[in-house]
Amino acid sequence: MPVFKTRPAGLKIIIVGAGKVGTTLVEQLSREGHDITIVDKDAAKINDITSTYDVMGCVGNGASYMTQVEAGVKDANLIIAVTESDELNLLCCTIAKQFSDCSAISRLRNPDYSRESKYLRDKLGLSMIINPDLEAAKVMARVLYLPMAQEIRSFAHGQAEIVKIKIPEGNILDKMTIADLGAKITNNILICGVERDGNVEIPKGSYELAAGDVISVVATRKEHINFLKSIGFATNQVKNVMIVGGGRSAYYLSNILLKTGVGVKIIEQDLNRCESLNELLPKAVIINGDGTNTELLLDEGIENADAFIPLTGIDEQNSMLALYAKKVSSAKLITKINRTGFIDIINSLDLGSVFYPMYITSDMILAYVRARTAAPGSNIETVYHLFDSRAESITFKVTDDSKVTGKPLKDLRLKNNTLISFISHEGEGIIPTGSDMISKGDTVMVVTSHSGFDDIGDILE
């Protein structure tokens, strides 16, 4: 008989750094019932956060032992250091580990530290090191390999992906139900989410798709390509990319693309940075100039670029550059946005694939926190927020028998707007039907509009 154990209470978490990532973490983790203390030198930021969320605040230097004691480090389960300084983040975690038994997560963005992340993690005893620029670059690169997609997320150790696409006018999917798609096109994919008119739905078989819908599709990479070809989408990867801005994100993305044979041109205004990039990326073309100058963009071939990616660090510039590129070229657009206050406006501008690095970072941390609080027998591997955090996909590793194992999926009473989207069983990826079952040892991906699932049993009513 399986044993069902009581779930542990929420964690006591200290977050050092009240910037964009820190605030996003406060919002998400406090909503899930954790005891949060936010630490920052800026009293105004602390006051804003504590006035908005049910969390404690501590004004001070997060690397100071006395500040950490005041924040409650001796009783904390986890400290997360996400200040703007890599060195300060490492020092915060090192001090916390010296004087408490808490786990520690540090944000590091410098490429020098990134290359040493495994060494630093092991030697300093950190649970996780996260580089948001590098992780965002990896996500962007996946989209450039399949440019008709707006977003691609990998899960189950690369066995499958969630691909987000927009249904164009006149497409074969327009006015087709989910059930008809399976009968007429393929059963090897699963549509796990649909966004229409600002609303998100986890669709059932009777749901009728329409032009303009943004859909998230679960399948293996091979089946995604077959599916996209069958509905008339091009599936060839880009051959050349133009990037405006030569910061860390541009370096990480270019380094990934050049290794796969994609041509890269970077336009950067700072001459010293151009010289550094020439040394770091000898196979890239580095142009010293103002990337917001439309004449320069035309001279450098924006009209013929396969992809155009503004990475200036200023959201308004990135948005305007993407709109200009859309006007003068057919390039695949990728736009990085750092602030989340204008998501509705950003979405209405049709800026191509829009990425928020702080969400990528917070998703990784959230997966770790939920894994810490999950009941025994159900380990979380990944958490991805979909459709601007209105839905999420969670990948569970099922290590014990439970209420969800050994029964046909059609016999499980799932919560509304919850879908079992993928099962990895003994190394084989399965797009599940009602007759499939979850077994001990499986990896299971769930998509839901609910928030806070940290155990596979949470999917049940």
Residues 202 and 250 in one domain: no
pTM: 0.85
Residues 265 and 197 in one domain: no
Question: Integer distance in angstroms from the first to the last C-alpha of the chain?
Answer: 21
Residues 36 and 112 in one domain: yes
Residues 17 and 124 in one domain: yes
- pLDDT at residue 2 in the model: 37
β partners of residue 200:
195
Closest alpha carbon to 369 in 37, 53, 79: 79
β partners of residue 40:
59
Confidence of residue 379 (pLDDT cuts 50, 70, 90): confident
Question: Whole-angstrom Cα distance, residue 461 to residue 457?
Answer: 9
Question: Whole-angstrom Cα distance, residue 392 to residue 76?
Answer: 27
**Residue 104 falls inside a structural domain:** yes
Are residues 172 and 233 in contact, defined by beta-carbon separation less than 8 angstroms? no
User: What is the DSSP pairing of strand 285-288 with strand 307-310?
Assistant: unpaired
β partners of residue 332:
307
Residues 214 and 245 in one domain: no
The CATH number linked to 78 is 3.40.50.720
Residues 351 and 366 in one domain: no
Residues 283 and 305 in one domain: yes
Domain stops at, among 207, 230, 253: 230
**Residue 258 falls inside a structural domain:** yes
Residues 395 and 328 in one domain: no
Residues 364 and 334 in one domain: no
**Residue 235 falls inside a structural domain:** no
Question: Whole-angstrom Cα distance, residue 289 to residue 312?
Answer: 13
Within the chain, how many helices (H) and strands (E) appear?
15, 22
Report residue 429 as tokens: 């990826």
Q: Supply angle C-alpha 289, 291, 295, rounded to 5.
A: 85
460 phi and psi angles, rounded to 5 deg: -90, 150
Domain stops at, among 355, 385, 415: 355
Question: Whole-angstrom Cα distance, residue 364 to residue 434?
Answer: 31
Render pLDDT for 31-50 as a digit per residue (tens, 0 to 9). Answer: 888 999 999 999 999 999 99
Render pLDDT for 249-273 as a digit per residue (tens, 0 to 9). Answer: 999 999 999 999 999 999 999 999 9
- Number of domains the chain is built from: 4
Residues 401 and 344 in one domain: no
Question: Whole-angstrom Cα distance, residue 282 to residue 127?
Answer: 35
* DSSP string across 383-417: EEEETTTTEEEEEEEE-S--TTBTSBGGGS-BPTT
High-pLDDT (> 70) share of the chain, %: 97
Residues 336 and 259 in one domain: yes
**Residue 7 falls inside a structural domain:** no
Question: Whole-angstrom Cα distance, residue 157 to residue 26?
Answer: 28
Domain stops at, among 202, 230, 258: 230
Are residues 34 and 14 in contact, defined by beta-carbon separation less than 8 angstroms? no
Residues 341 and 396 in one domain: no
- How large is the average pLDDT for residues 172-186? 94
Residue 17's contacts (CB-CB under 8 Å, 6 or more residues apart) are: 39, 40, 62, 81, 82, 83, 84, 89, 107
Question: Whole-angstrom Cα distance, residue 302 to residue 249?
Answer: 20
**Residue 376 falls inside a structural domain:** yes
What is the average pLDDT score of the chain?
91
**Residue 81 falls inside a structural domain:** yes
The CATH number linked to 421 is 3.30.70.1450
Render pLDDT for 381-440 as a digit per residue (tens, 0 to 9). Answer: 888 888 878 899 999 999 888 899 999 999 999 999 999 999 999 989 999 999 999 999
- pLDDT at residue 9 in the model: 61
**Residue 142 falls inside a structural domain:** no
**Residue 197 falls inside a structural domain:** yes
Per the structure, the complete domain to which residue 171 belongs is given by: 149-230
Question: Whole-angstrom Cα distance, residue 448 to residue 416?
Answer: 8
Q: Which amino acid is at 47?
A: N
| Residue that is written with structure tokens 């050349």 in the block | 240
User: What is the DSSP pairing of strand 128-130 with strand 199-201?
Assistant: unpaired
Question: Whole-angstrom Cα distance, residue 152 to residue 165?
Answer: 9
Confidence of residue 346 (pLDDT cuts 50, 70, 90): confident
Q: Supply angle C-alpha 173, 349, 150, rounded to 5.
A: 45
309 phi and psi angles, rounded to 5 deg: -135, 105
Confidence of residue 3 (pLDDT cuts 50, 70, 90): very low
Are residues 238 and 231 in contact, defined by beta-carbon separation less than 8 angstroms? no
